[in-house]
Structure 1
Amino acid sequence: MKKMFSALAALLVLLAASNPLAAQKFGYVDSEYIMSKMPEYAQAQTELNNLSQNWQKDIESQKKDLDKLYRTYQAEEVLLTEPMKKKRQDEILKKEQDVKAYQNKIFGYEGQLFKKRQELTKPVQDRVFEGIEKVAKKKQLAIMFDKSGDLTMLYTNPVHDYTEFVLEELGLASEDKNQTAQKGSVKTVSVPKTPAGDEPQADEAKESATPATRPTRQPATRPASRKN
């Protein structure tokens, strides 16, 4: 999956290089996060885990048989002739080679587990790719990067994150995503009252902050009353 999106990103970069205007608009997605939201991907992972566990049990069983064969040989070695020893040793060596070959066949490079994973996940990958392609066309993006791919992204601005748009395209978007923010009610914050026990301290602080000398306010002079 990572290689597929990395190759796609590299191709888009090359195409955008020939058109400087188109290169100005780009985005990125997290393909692993998208697939983790897909039920068919979870089902494929469950099936792969079950197969892997069953295959591992077969290998462990074969290893136990090999260990038993070796221990029996050690216990009877003193009673065996040289030709018999050679025969037993060849049997043990053959069994050991068979176990390693089976293990490599199942879990090795391009083994059965690898092929089964490709078989089960390819439909999921194709669906994700189609969703990304549709979003890129709708948003007129020249380049779409994969945050979970091999391409190292040291910094990503959430403004360019189109992961939720792809989930929406696949019918897996969350209801609280890609929605216009709604204004909340305006709340009036009242000034907290001073506790009763702290009032004297507040008065003392107020008095200490008052200048020592205050201008004396002269009483207003009343106008003389008129005599009729």
Structure 2
Amino acid sequence: MRFYIITIFFLIFGLNFGCAQRFGYIDTDFILNKMPEYKKAQEEINQLSQAWEKEIQEMSKKRDEMYSAFQAEQVLLTETMKKERTEALQKKETELKEYQKKVFGFGGLFFLKKQELIKPIQDKVWDAVDKVCKENSLAIMFDKAGELVMIYTDPRYDYTDFVLDQLGLGDPNDKIKN
């Protein structure tokens, strides 16, 4: 964390002591939540996630039922039958873990679908941020929704409304701009 603060300090103040760097900040969470296409994408992602969770729960339930049946019948089974049932249980467990990884693991279906739906929306926001930065001659734009902790922010440097205007989502009654 200290490294990031030092890096930001040098970006703002240290690279060119002769001319001040103009900077601003935005709140991407606020911007994204104002975008109807983002809300729609989030709803689709949530529905898919719930459907996949339900499938995993059903697979888990079947595995648990197999295990319960095995436990109940274990005393009546021959060694060969016990071995077969144990292998079947292990196979079910492996299938379940593989499916969970396929869906929710890194690079899994959930990750890919989320990227497919959200990336175009984020690109739209980044394009708007780029335009706002160029129009306002800003050298640096921070995101207060990100991991960078901003202890204090002066509203004069908040460009969130400008980005919303650029996206066509601004409040027409908002008369106060920097």
Normalising by structure 1, report the TM-score.
Answer: 0.70
2:103 counterpart letter in structure 1: I
Give the Cα separation in 1 of the matches to 2:18 and 2:121. Answer: 33
Give the Cα separation in 2 of the matches to 1:112 and 1:22. Answer: 48
Percentage identity across aligned positions? 49
1:86 counterpart letter in structure 2: K
2:34 is the alignment partner of 1:45:
no
* Cα-to-partner distance string for 1:117-143 (whole Å, 9 max, x where unaligned): 111001100000011111111111111
Aligned to 1:106: 103
Q: Which has the higher helix share?
A: 2
The count of residues paired between Structure 1 and Structure 2 equals: 171
Aligned to 1:93: 90
2:157 is the alignment partner of 1:173:
no
Aligned to 2:122: 125
Displacement of 1:18 in angstroms is: 3.5
Aligned to 2:160: 163
1:23–1:143 Cα contact (<8 Å) kept: no
Give the Cα separation in 2 of the matches to 1:84 and 1:171. Answer: 68
* Cα-to-partner distance string for 1:183-207 (whole Å, 9 max, x where unaligned): xxxxxxxxxxxxxxxxxxxxxxxxx
- The 5-angstrom pairing of residues 56-71 of structure 1 reads 56-71=53-68
* Cα-to-partner distance string for 1:5-24 (whole Å, 9 max, x where unaligned): xx9xx79x749854345543
What SS does the aligned partner of 1:90 have? helix
What SS does the aligned partner of 1:165 have? helix
CA RMSD of aligned residues (A): 2.1
Give the Cα separation in 2 of the matches to 1:177 and 1:15. Answer: 30
Q: Which runs of 5+ in 1 are unaligned?
A: 1-6, 181-228
- Aligned partner (choices 18, 32, 35) of residue 32 of structure 2: 35
* Cα-to-partner distance string for 1:90-111 (whole Å, 9 max, x where unaligned): 1101101110111121112221
1:68 counterpart letter in structure 2: E
Aligned to 2:75: 78
1:164–1:178 Cα contact (<8 Å) kept: no
